[in-house]
Chain A
């Protein structure tokens, strides 16, 4: 029995869909939690007969429920789950051929940059990097045939906001595929497909899984033709997500609403505290009214998320701060229930060359916070003690 969305179900709210994801699948036992189909293969009743499943790389019920849930909450026709966020992006990159050009956000996750520069550039796929928060600059980059536009908004780690609707129209005019890495926002806060994107990509490791205990990636496609190509690649290249990890992400999705809303509220408190602190020269958070993308963010999303970055007046203090935090954890990743602090210049953006980093503003004094579920007073007290 599949989790197909009936007319009636389509009218329920996002929180309801999230709370009950996977809990109506098993009609045989009525199991309220989706079973983990830890199987590589499936028996056939006879030649030419199939239950719909034959080999877990191609399709697995637990993975299917995760994929269908994501498609339903993101407003897409198909979801696809991968072994990691990078595996999901890699699958997208396989849509292109030597000679193709892609326009990409210049300040984006270093791992994506590395994939394009070190893996796909040698294969003849050219990525050009622009400030995608500047719509005119993106338009200018469409000088010759561009196959795709790959955008993060808000960006990692500077939280710059792109005008997604305008970029969507631009991509459509030029016949380019519009891809949005929506990891920071999740469908709870921002739905790229509704804003004109063809594909939304997620590191499910972050907010979707939500508990820092599973690595996974997801694609959600808006239209069947793109979905079919991606599904073919998922099966052919095989970087699928295993059933236990799919189940853990499903479990995380159930509380996405309550988690992210609380984390977002905490983030605003922390950002406001940092904005007036003498040791801090600048705070990047779309929720602060003086953030350049603040207005634009509110037009295209229902919230500003839980990521905050800030620049130290004295960059040399970064090491002491990272060693001194007691509540924040100095660790890579983001989006989990525990608050984390990182130094992008040496961690997530280490793969970007120093000159580019400096030009982008990913300086040695830039710290990035992923705000979790702790009491905001404890988080602020921790920052106060180390700043």
Chain B
């Protein structure tokens, strides 16, 4: 069955119960057992819940993995995955990545003995040079947040295998609808399901999908022991969002392409970052490894003041954190997604104070363009 069809039917189990078209929401925290020595399939909701299981199986199927696991947030998924490693281990990670991941790596995990070297992963040589005897994994985002930097995923996966490293990728921006890293050789795919998967800005959730069952079992042990599980109602909401992922993201991507091309020609805009633009570094690699450039773009105004004036003039997209919802969202990485990264670190990565990030929603392209136009016209005119 095609991905589009599996999106619509994921989570359904025609053998269960009453033939509900949508999975029942199992709220029970505990399950009665017939026998003290032989438990049924569920015993305690932290360890397993049928509604969460429906989402986990749907995600495993969509990403083409052996096992899916759902967590209380994208950060919980990342943090639980990092708990696969031990004090003294080393990680190679991409330089421009979500600020929350950067914060977890450089504070929580560094304190606890997991070291990270950040490199420009679009340069495979740099990745290879960063590998030491203690390196256990490579962690990337492609396209990255917020500069949409493209990494050669098959290249990184091959490199990781050659060095016996676990390869981990955050596939939030693309979703399995546009990019399937496990098929390119990755071991673990992570998602903030809060974004495009849930799709309606109304649920916070994270998902991990493992290519092989053994890694799946190891991460399950972490999920069960540390318990940052996604509750059943939220699992159900993410499943509901998945039903329309294809139609939402296809429409949002089409609008994003139109807006990116239009912004690139505006005198008020210094630079646009979007994998769909022919001049974007890694454009060709992205076109090979993904089915589309997605619905997130970022662009630089002429100055930080111009960026702030622009953000204060925008009316249709919401000025907010997050992305991937049906409403367009404009974010300011400096104070939002990348606030957790110290200013010097941001600057060295090219994440300037003039940079804004736009997550394109389902509003009409005409209305969005008209609003962006009036806001661009207002920048600097204060």
A: residues with CB less than 8 A from B are 12-13, 15-16, 18-20, 23, 30, 32-33, 210-213, 251, 254-255, 257-259, 261-262, 327, 329, 331, 336-338, 372-375, 377-378
Contact = CB atoms under 8 A, between A and B. Distances in A.
A70 B70 CA distance: 35
A254 B364 contact: no
B345 interface: no
A189 to B, nearest CB: 16
B37 interface: no
A210 to B, nearest CB: 8
B367 A13 contact: yes
Contacts of A16: 316, 363-364, 367
Contact of A374 (B4, B21, B202, B329): B4
B162 interface: no
A331 B21 contact: yes
A374 B9 contact: yes
A23 B318 contact: yes
B247 A254 contact: no
28 contacts: A12-B316, A12-B363, A15-B364, A18-B362, A23-B327, A30-B318, A32-B201, A32-B320, A32-B329, A33-B200, A33-B201, A210-B244, A211-B22, A211-B243, A212-B21, A255-B244, A255-B362, A258-B247, A258-B251, A331-B19, A337-B8, A373-B243, A374-B5, A374-B8, A375-B1, A377-B2, A378-B2, A378-B5
Contacts of A258: 244, 247-248, 250-251, 362
Q: Which 6 A-B pairs have the closest CB atoms?
A: A33-B202, A19-B362, A375-B2, A258-B247, A374-B5, A16-B363
Contacts of A212: 21-22
Interface residues of B, number: 37
A251 B9 CA distance: 19
Contacts of B19: 331
Given A19-B327, A211-B240, A257 B362 contact: yes
A259 B244 contact: yes
Contacts of A374: 2, 4-5, 8-9
Nearest to A378: B5
B247 to A, nearest CB: 4
B7 interface: yes
Contacts of A251: 200, 202, 240
Label chain B's interface by main secondary structure. Answer: loop
Nearest to B320: A32
Given A19-B361, A213-B240, A329-B21, A254 B8 contact: no
B9 A338 contact: yes
B244 A372 contact: no
A338 B21 CA distance: 8
A373 B4 contact: yes
A377 B4 CA distance: 11
A244 to B, nearest CB: 10
A337 B244 contact: yes
A372 B5 CA distance: 9
Nearest to A263: B247
A19 B5 contact: no
Contacts of B5: 327, 374-375, 378
Interface in B158-183: none
Given A20-B326, A327-B5, A373-B7, 10 more contacts: A19-B326, A212-B22, A251-B202, A255-B199, A255-B248, A255-B326, A259-B244, A375-B1, A375-B2, A377-B2
Contacts of B243: 211, 337-338, 373
Contact of A259 (B2, B247, B318, B327): B247
A327 B316 CA distance: 39
B273 to A, nearest CB: 24
Interface string B188-226: 000000000001111000000000000000000000000
Contacts of B12: 338
A27 to B, nearest CB: 13
Contacts of A12: 316, 363-364, 367
Interface string B348-371: 000000000000011110110000
A338 B7 CA distance: 10
Nearest to B329: A32
A3 to B, nearest CB: 14
Contacts of A18: 362
B60 interface: no
A81 B2 CA distance: 37
Interface string B112-139: 0000000000000000000000000000
Given A19-B326, A32-B327, A374-B8, A262 B247 contact: yes
B325 interface: yes
A69 B333 CA distance: 32
A377 B19 CA distance: 25
B378 to A, nearest CB: 16
A261 B250 CA distance: 12
A329 B14 CA distance: 10
Contacts of A331: 19, 21
B150 interface: no
Contacts of B250: 258
B246 A373 contact: yes
Contacts of B1: 327, 375, 378
Nearest to B201: A32
B8 A338 contact: yes
Contacts of A15: 362-364
Contacts of B7: 373
Nearest to A374: B5
From B8, B19, B199, name the one whose CB has the most chain A CB atoms within 10 angstroms.
B8
Contacts of A13: 363-364, 366-367
